[in-house]
Structure 1
Amino acid sequence: MWFSLPVELQRQCLQSLDVKTLRCFRLVNKSVSTLATEILFGTVRLYHPEQGIDLLDDESDEDTEKGIPESVQKYNNILENDSLCPLVRTVIFYTFDPNNNDEDDYDQSESDLDESYEKSLKSVSRFPNLREVRMVFSRICAVDNEMSAWTKDVAETVSFRTDVLNALLKGLCVNQKHSMPHFDSLTIKNLQDHISDSVYDSLVFAPVLRKLRRLNLCIATESDDAAPEHDINKPGCHKMFNNDLCTRWLAPLQGQLTHLSLYATQCLWGFWPFCDLRPLHFPHLQSLSLGNWTIAHEWQIDWILSHGATVEELLLDDCPIITAAYLGEEHVNTHFPGLEPLHVSERGWKIFIKELDLRWHHVFPRFSTGLPKLRHFAIGQGEWYEQKMFEERHELAPRLIHDRYYIFDNGIGPSQWVGGGGHWVLSNARNADENGRRGHALNTGEGQRTTYYFPACDEEDREALAELLGVVEGRSDAKV
């Protein structure tokens, strides 16, 4: 039965197997061994030596060259093997142990870039058929602040991350006897929001960007453990989303990107920290994935629709629409200039409240008509708790979640975001009217609070989503 299957179907079946099973398949016969070997060595993983993890999850006690960690040694062995080296299509670099459940332990010792690991980063261009490189940092990050009395200690400092990024970029830019005509995909998970200018200003950053057709970024932001309500105003957070993301990463790629994924590891972005994507346009964009992106304006939907001539895949992972907001002057100046304060105290303290009427049943029909090439659409919530949402974004199932509408309350903590369902819902978000609608009480001045209710439009949203999915399913080669 197996041998009667077309080779491409056999390949798809083998790609779903784990490493140990693939090794067993290599013993079946010569033809199966060739295919299994191709898939087995299609992706290699390199772990920072401090982690002591094996390259291919091998449990053997294979000896390594003296002084060189096992993961690095095996990486080098593949690199020097004339038959295995050309099989490598994807290389994944880890700076931490992804299986470590104690990643939240801030008492970890500070990481130093290992010399052998650095050499491996710089040698990545020697894989002649390399297509994709992924770099996975720890999601725990912080910025050294000499002006602060309290600085958060983390294993992966800005200095360490800078050294890693610079080494990787040099490796991707090097053109020795091996050229890299096929390399076009860069994925960075937990890219810190604060990035040293030495990375951007290096001689290799721009040349690497010029190679890319696919860019996938999941951006990590610093958390203030003592006062999480301050997270949203960290300077690094705003520097990345309000400036660097667009000007440093995306603007140079406008004429070439076909696939773009933008996620935030923990913070919600788009509204605050503000990110204005309107100056950007990608005329060849086929796939767009957004995670933790907050929607407050029609122009944000317009920006997606501006790529209607090319977009075939759109994934919205935990992307809520804002329906009401209690704002500070900085938010008003950015989003709603000219908004009159609801109340001004005797001391001049201004209270701004803004209600927004955008709903998902307004958005879905626009996707149906404005994205005529759309063949894969998903909206919902990935595996954020286990932090697998970024890697598994293409497995996102289209469904309406309770928390598809949020209220922004600048006057509360530990989070300014209040959801309409079970995610991020605070105790004071459980106010309900006589019809059972949930709401959240916002400060309206002089000690008064007014409850603003989440939209009661479940049926309208469901019908609009069903119609959109029906349109997408009706297109040839659709995937939903």
Structure 2
Amino acid sequence: MPGYSSDVMLVNEIWDRICSYLTHQSLANLRLACRHFNDIALPHQYRSLRLEAFGDSVQRFVDIAKSPRLHKLVRKITIDTHVDFDFEYTGNQTYPFPQSFMEALPHLRYFTNITSLHIRFEEHCGEDEVHGSSLEEVAELRYRVLDTIMHCAAGMWTLEKQRIIDKVLLEYMYAEDEMEEFDYSNQDLGFINDGPLPLRELTVTNLADNDDANLTLSEAWNAVISLPSLVDLRLLVATEENQSSPENGIYLENKYYFFQSLHETWLSPNLSQNLRVLSLYFRDYWGWFPKMDFRLIGEDSPFPHLKVLALGNYVFSHRWQIEWFAKIGKENSSGGLEELYLDDCPILYKARQKGPLHDGYPDFVSILEDRDDADPSMYTFPLRWHDVFSQWKNSMKGLRVLKMGSGSWFTTPMCTYNTMLCDPEYAKLSNDVLHHRTSHNIHRDFACPAPIPRGTYWKPECREIFALGKYLNGEGISDTRDRRMQYVEYDIGVGPSAWCEKRNISTAVYDGYEPEEGTLMKDNQVWDEMLAANEAKCATH
């Protein structure tokens, strides 16, 4: 038998493929084999990095940032503001302010090769002690985190600018004679970026629905969202809540101004012209009330290069939406959208709302001003799903993938969770950390495999699927019939939510809802035709 030759070498592309499937521990073991394997495995072991306000990640983040060899290897960074898990947010407890986390943030500028940046806030936003409960991550704290990150990403960070950013938060936290500055004594003030970070993907989880002028007027923020390299934007927008009277949440004004100005802020022309992937999720229904007029982004050729679009909780109500979405991506290689994901995106068919409506939309200003005076009126909307898809099957010429249903909005995606339980890489993580890291990712994981029905997890074939790692990178949209082509009703006089989801139950099976007899059959027929048209397009390419 011929002996093994140490001269047999695999090309780098094959090693990259092999290492992409190895766990962190396996990569560490591979590095110990020899110097050659160490050089191969090292970039993969440090490819992804976390800075979290809980646990012990802060020191590791700083140590890697200060290592000239290691910080160049990092390509993906997650920044998470969540503090220790024994603390209850909005529970009127003393907030354990993440001092070391805040002081470590400027080290982000050392990671000059990162292409993916994921920022995660806590899900509660608004003003502190307005609705009878504490609010820890106020606008000033969120601004301080975001603008610090943006200055690092734009290559514009200086200690002087950081002190100006800090002042917004410190003036909120302290009286003038008690103010304490953050400690940046361990920063290398001589380190200067050659330019902005080469970001391709930016994700913000639980972005507050607050049109914060401190941020949107920031030179660094505008520089980052104008980067030609930034082609993938994924936002999950949180909304202020009235926890003592949830039905009064419609009178909280931030969300209306947020969507009214979105085409000038997070979806401004400098960004929208470059995007290839856009995921836009909101924790409540949006599109009709609060109104989001996508036509302000462009009417003839909106998002000209966009290939993938995912929307969460977006409401369809008008025929212009059918035509507008079909115009997206005209200048990409397919001549239109290639993938469309609609996560809990219903059609509004009836609304009891304070009027008058303007072009079929409520006037939020008059509703906020006359909350106790005006009598609601009933309005109907004729748009149906068979209207939408009968037009899209012909007008969306580039569409290959259409997924519609419901993601894991408020629960842990259990397929991903169970998959991680089977993976020794995650055995050292606590249950709290595992639940936390897998949740609130619907705006990122929309294209992942659809989940297995929860009642079947115990079956051997399901356990085998989990062990094989199918859901390791996330859980996508559940596309059972009851979860797609939904209809919704709005009633300003009911609570805790004015949005009333409509579903029919037949012999314990959800068949879908029809606002009038015959709609269900028409919707199902056109849906099948739409999928057949997409399959035909895929077969010809």
Q: Same fold (TM over 0.5)?
A: yes
**Which residues of 2 match residues 406-425 of structure 1 at below 5 A?**
406-421=488-503
For residue 303 of structure 1, the aligned residue among 324, 328, 335 is 324
**1:400 maps to 2:481:** yes
Of residues 235, 240, 259, the one that matches 2:277 is: 259
Q: Hey, what's the Cα distance between the residues in 1 that align with 2:151 and 2:211? A: 17
The alpha-carbon deviation at position 111 of structure 1 amounts to 5.6
Taking structure 1 as reference, are residues 174 and 118 closer, same or farther at Cα in structure 2, changes over 3 Å only?
A: farther
Give the Cα separation in 2 of the matches to 1:373 and 1:43. Answer: 33
- Secondary structure of 2:63's aligned partner: helix
Is 1:246 the counterpart of 2:276 in the alignment? Answer: no
**Which residue of structure 2 lines up, in the alignment, with residue 204 of structure 1?**
220
- Once residues 472 and 35 of structure 1 are traced to their aligned partners in structure 2, the CA distance between those partners, rounded to angstroms, is 41
- Return the offset for 1:151: 5.0
Aligned to 1:170: 151
C-alpha displacement of 1:220: 0.6
| Letter aligned with residue 47 of structure 1 | E
CA contact (8 A) 1:375 1:472 kept: yes
User: What is the alpha-carbon distance in structure 1 between the residues aligned to residue 15 and residue 88 of structure 2?
Assistant: 38
Inter-partner Cα distance in structure 2 for 1:155 and 1:94: 14
Q: 1:198 to 1:467 in 2, by over 3 A?
A: same
**Which residue of 1 is the match for residue 442 of structure 2?**
389
Q: Distance in 2 between matches of 1:87 and 1:272?
A: 45
Instruction: Using the TM superposition, give the Cα deviation of residue 405 of structure 1 relative to its aligned residue in structure 2, in angstroms.
Output: 1.0
Partners of 1:273 and 1:151 lie apart in 2 by: 25
Equivalent residues in 2 for 1:64-463, closer than 5 Å: 71-97=57-83, 100=85, 105-110=90-95, 112=97, 114=99, 116-144=100-128, 150-174=131-155, 176-180=192-196, 182-211=198-227, 212-243=230-261, 245-252=262-269, 253-264=271-282, 266-280=283-297, 281-309=302-330, 310=332, 311-329=337-355, 332-333=357-358, 335=360, 350-386=375-411, 387-395=440-448, 396-397=476-477, 398-402=479-483, 404-421=486-503, 453=515, 457-463=519-525
**Aligned residue for 1:466?**
528
Cα drift, residue 249 of structure 1 = 1.7
- Using the TM superposition, give the Cα deviation of residue 22 of structure 1 relative to its aligned residue in structure 2, in angstroms: 4.5
Q: Could you give the per-residue CA deviations for residues 152-201 of structure 1, whole angstroms, max 9, x where no partner exists?
A: 41221222112111211111122524434622322111011124321122
The C-alpha deviation readout for 1:412-436, integer Å capped at 9, x for no partner, is 11111111228xxxxxxx9x9xxx9
Q: 1:254 to 1:402 in 2, by over 3 A?
A: closer
Distance 2:20 2:92 in 1: 38
Distance 2:311 2:110 in 1: 32
Partner-residue secondary structure (3-state), 1:75: helix
> In structure 2, how many angstroms separate the alpha carbons of the residues matched to 1:104 and 1:354?
39
* Distance in 2 of aligned mates of 1:34 and 1:289: 38
Residue 39 of structure 1 is matched in structure 2 by: 44
Counting matched residue pairs gives 419
Q: Helix, strand or coil for the counterpart of 1:128?
A: coil
1:368 is displaced (CA, Å) by 2.4
- Whether the 8 Å CA contact 1:132–1:186 is kept in 2: the answer is yes
Shift of 1:29: 6.7
Cα distance in 2 for partners of 1:301, 1:8 equals 43
The verdict on how the C-alpha distance between 1:191 and 1:18 changes in structure 2, with shifts beyond 3 A counting, is farther
SS in 2 for 1:135: strand
Shift of 1:28: 6.3
TM-score, normalization: structure 2?
A: 0.69
Q: Is the 8 A contact 1:111 1:156 kept in 2?
A: no
Residue 442 of structure 2 aligns to a residue whose secondary structure is coil
Paired with 1:37 and 1:90, the residues of 2 have a C-alpha distance of: 15
Output the CA distance in 2 between the equivalents of 1:186 and 1:204.
15
Query: C-alpha distance in 1, partners of 2:86/2:525?
Result: 41
Give the aligned residue type for 1:367.
W
Indicate the percent of aligned positions where both proteins have the same amino acid: 26
User: Which amino acid counterpart does residue 302 of structure 1 have in structure 2?
Assistant: E
Instruction: Output the amino acid matched with 1:457.
Output: T
Instruction: Look up the SS of the partner of 1:316 in the other structure.
Output: strand
Report the Cα offset of residue 94 of structure 1.
0.3
Conserved? CA contact 1:437–1:453, under 8 Å: no
Structure 1 pair 231–225 and aligned structure 2 pair: CA distance change class (3 A): same
When residues 263 and 186 of structure 1 are mapped into structure 2, their CA distance, relative to the original with a 3 A threshold, is same
Counterpart residue type for residue 411 of structure 1: G
Q: Verify the 8 A CA contact 1:142 1:152 in the aligned structure 2.
A: no
Structure-2 change in CA distance of 1:107 and 1:255 (3 Å): same
Counterpart for residue 66 of structure 1: none
CA deviation map 1:366-424 (0-9, x unaligned): 332222222322111111122332232222345433461111111111111111228xx
* d(CA) in 1 for partners of 2:81, 2:145: 9
**Deviation by residue 1:226-266 (Cα, 9 ceiling, x = unmatched):** 211111331111111222x22222123232222211111x2
Per the TM alignment, residue 336 of structure 1 is displaced from its structure 2 partner at its CA by: 5.2
In structure 2, what is the Cα distance between the partners aligned to 1:362 and 1:274? 21
Q: What residue identity is the alignment partner of 1:44?
A: L
Which protein has greater RCO, CA pairs closer than 8 Å, 6+ apart? Answer: 2
Provide the C-alpha distance between the structure 1 equivalents of 2:536 and 2:286, rounded to a whole number of angstroms. 33
Deviations 1:331-355, CA, capped at 9 Å, x for gaps: x2362599xxxxxxxx996542222
- Is contact 1:233–1:273 with CA below 8 Å preserved after alignment? no
What is the distance in 2 between the residues matched to 1:362 and 1:302?
11
Structure 1 counterpart of 2:537 = 475
Going from structure 1 to structure 2, the CA distance change for 1:89 and 1:103 (only over 3 Å counts) comes to farther
C-alpha distance in 2, partners of 1:143/1:121? 24
* Residue type of the alignment partner of 1:204: A
C-alpha distance in 1, partners of 2:238/2:209?
A: 6
Instruction: State the Cα distance separating 1:279 from its structure 2 match.
Output: 1.3
> Structure 1: which 5+ runs fail to align?
55-70, 339-346, 423-429, 440-451
Aligned-residue Cα RMSD (Å) equals: 3.4
Closer, same or farther: CA 126–349 of 1 in aligned 2, 3 Å: closer
CA distance in 1, matches of 2:78, 2:69: 20
Q: What is the CA distance between 1:19 and its match in structure 2?
A: 3.7
CA distance in 1: counterparts of 2:524 and 2:501, whole angstroms:
18
